[in-house]
Amino acid sequence: QVQLVESGGGLVQPGGSLRLSCAASGFGLDYYAIGWFRQAPGKEREGVSHIDSTGDHTYYKDSVKGRFTISRDNAQKTVYLQMNSLKPEDTAVYYCAAALTGGWGIPRRGDEYGYWGQGTQVTVSS
């Protein structure tokens, strides 16, 4: 069964850090780009950060540049999102998604991703 499972969310104070993990089961990640998306209540889903299948290329939404870092360990079939200097506006459900790219490019649109996790809640509040 193909599955992506996110973990690492929680409640953190402004300025704090969290590391999200996205673990794949039922398939290997070697030919998949991975994207982290988030959706806050009453808002549309947005792409936060994406990484190509090799980890050589990454993309960040402007508002998280310098604070978030995406990385991957294909041997462990896991992708990470390190989130530092968290702000209340980062509060959302965070989803990871996988797109089969064959090693080329970094999809950014949600509809380009075929596999999705169930999401993990991140709440930044004092």
Q: pLDDT (tens digit, 9 = 90+) per residue, 79-126?
A: 999 999 999 999 999 999 999 997 778 999 999 999 999 999 999 999
User: Which amino acid belongs to residue 11?
Assistant: L
How many C-beta atoms surround the C-beta of residue 123 within 10 A?
15
Confidence grade of residue 47 (pLDDT, cut at 50, 70, 90) = very high
Share above pLDDT 70 across residues of the chain, in percent, rounded to a whole number: 100
Of residues 28 and 71, more confidence is placed in: 71
Using an 8 Å Cβ cutoff, are 117 and 4 in contact? Answer: yes
20 Cβ neighbours under 8 A, 6+ residues apart: 6, 7, 8, 9, 36, 80, 81, 83, 94, 96, 120, 122
Of residues 29 and 49, more confidence is placed in: 49
Using an 8 Å Cβ cutoff, are 55 and 69 in contact? Answer: no
Q: Helix or strand or coil: residue 74? A: helix
DSSP state of 86: -
Per-residue pLDDT, 45? 97
